[in-house]
Structure 1
């Protein structure tokens, strides 16, 4: 009986698959893409455990075990890069995360449709600008000698500020550039969540005499709390990752103590010094730490009564 039931289930599954054959055919290029460009390259992780030789290739290079990891863990520059990565990510998150929510709430309160669309477009635009352009703009604005801001400060009798040559001021400049570039793009999800808030709640609160600020605090923010928690977890899970372009383009030899992050460090040893095993090991370590942080943040969110993401 069980054998007949299994055969019947298989036949029904095959019939359903045949009925939706064109859907599967349309899905085939996507499946092939992920297999070829996502899953197959995962074998390259083994380079982290090999004494990789570019002439012998991945398969013929000799295994080295965990000696590559021991080598990078013994390097002080590696730990300095990790510290700087966490520092810059935390500083950017501490400023951009609440500002993104505030800007989203402000945009949601705009009643003029045309003005709202124009404002959103202006805020979204910096996201599509390359970091090369942003770094050029930042240099023109914040340079010590010929920067616009320092020129204005000197005109009014103040001392110039070393935005790009002092470590503390460089972190400030990095955060400002990062927030300006991404704050508009970050509002998209919150604005989408705000469209789902029940209007009857606002009407009831208005009839009860609640002010606009009270409606914002007691209705709007709690209604998108789950989205805020989810976005916070996702942002925290990327604390070990940072883009290469911003620190590399904005950094210079004077601020290497804070601008040398995990991505620039990997770039220097992997591309400039051709130490492929070490760069792969760092990338693997980075991914593992991000997963651990993600799981810890998700567990903490569930412990305080939120749904989490897993």
Structure 2
């Protein structure tokens, strides 16, 4: 296993690409999306089926999720997605026609749901695994993109709750433990939805910093803390959806799945607006958001819950 994190790899990219990368923009290479100009944002995300396709997911489900993952990054930065491109890699050992048709159907279903154009598609070969890369373009609906940094002392922390936290990893773990059958796991599965309501919220309140939460809540909060030299003091966590509650043996297990699950496709955001104001505005546009706590400027970058420091671990591809 590598000692390098994803952040370390991006640091290498920034160093090696320094003469082709324009610093000083609102977003850097580590952020959820990049700026094409003052009006458009760009994102690219890639996945291998070995690391990201659950046993009960169809190829259509997997492709849908890849599109949602890419466009959610744009939404988190304040852009309305309008077009995607995608590329897939297939092994000659597989049923290439069947899988490619299924992936194309999943991409189309996501594009139909979110009114996205497909402007490019490509293929390549892979040795064994199947992989997909999705790129997306969106138009800014804010004056400038929302960075991960930008936290003002004593900002309030919130997260959208469109898909919920801990769902996929809880189902997967209980399936591996033999506590859920394949049929039960498939029956509990939900295709993730992109949190478009966040774009409506931007018309009502000023948001200072935001990040997509798909690598785990604790990890994403840790990135906010590190990018802002701030301590995040959490007084509340999202609660898993009702059909999951009976699967947890302890509250500690439940909290761990919420903090470290991953693949939520939610948006963490920070603002000076009070919890009462944010709750009122979210209710007015039918967007469910959860108040998590406060961020304060600090020489330390840490996250606390119930007065205890929590590990900022999450999904890592190289560890």
Regarding TM over 0.5, the answer is: no
The bucket for the TM-score relative to the shorter chain is under 0.3
More helix by share: 1
More strand by share: 2
TM-score (norm 1): 0.24
TM-score (norm 2): 0.23
Structure number with bigger Rg: 1
